[in-house]
Structure 1
Amino acid sequence: MKEFWNDRYNSEEYIYGEVPNEYFHSRFTQFDPGEILFAAEGEGRNAVFAAKCDWKVTAFDISAEAKKKAEKLAKKHEVGLDYRVGELPDLGFEKGDFDAVSLVYAHFPVEVRKNYHELLISYLRRDGLIFFEGFSKKHKIYQEKNPAVGGPKDEALLFSMEEIKQDFGSLKFLELYETEVDLKEGNGHDGLGAVIRFVAQKK
Structure 2
Amino acid sequence: MQAPFQANRFWDDRYSEAEFVYGTQPNQFFAQALRSLQPGHLLLPAEGEGRNAVYAASQGWHVDAFDFSEEGRQKALRLAAQRGVSIGYELADLLTFDTQTRYDALALIYVHLAPAPRRDMLVRFAGLLKPGGTLILEGFHPRQIGNPSGGPNAPEFCYTVEELRAVFAEGFSIQQLNNESITLAEGAYHHGPAHVTRLIALKL
Task: Say yes or no: TM over 0.5.
Answer: yes
What is the CA–CA distance in structure 1 between the aligned matches of 2:82 and 2:50, rounded to whole Å?
Answer: 12
What is the CA–CA distance in structure 1 between the aligned matches of 2:180 and 2:14, rounded to whole Å?
Answer: 27
What is the CA–CA distance in structure 1 between the aligned matches of 2:198 and 2:44, rounded to whole Å?
Answer: 16
TM-score w.r.t. structure 1 length?
Answer: 0.92
CA contact 2:103–2:133 (8 Å) conserved in 1 = yes
Q: 1:78: how far off?
A: 1.1
1:77-113 CA-partner distances (Å, limit 9, x unpaired): 111111111224644412x610000111111343421
1:42-75 CA-partner distances (Å, limit 9, x unpaired): 1110110000011000011121111111111111
Residue in 2 aligned with 1:83?
Answer: 89
State the identity as a percent: 34
Unpaired runs of 5+ residues, structure 2, are 1-6
2:118 equivalent among 95, 113, 120: 113
CA contact 2:95–2:117 (8 Å) conserved in 1 = no
Unpaired runs of 5+ residues, structure 1, are none
Aligned: 1:180 with 2:186? no
Moved over 6 A (4+): none
What is the CA–CA distance in structure 2 between the aligned matches of 1:122 and 1:58, rounded to whole Å?
Answer: 16
Aligned: 1:134 with 2:139? yes
2:33 equivalent among 23, 27, 32: 27
Q: 1:169: how far off?
A: 2.3
CA contact 2:143–2:155 (8 Å) conserved in 1 = no
Residue in 2 aligned with 1:190?
Answer: 191
Q: 1:37: how far off?
A: 0.2
Instruction: Name the count of aligned residue pairs.
Output: 197
Counterpart code for 1:125: K
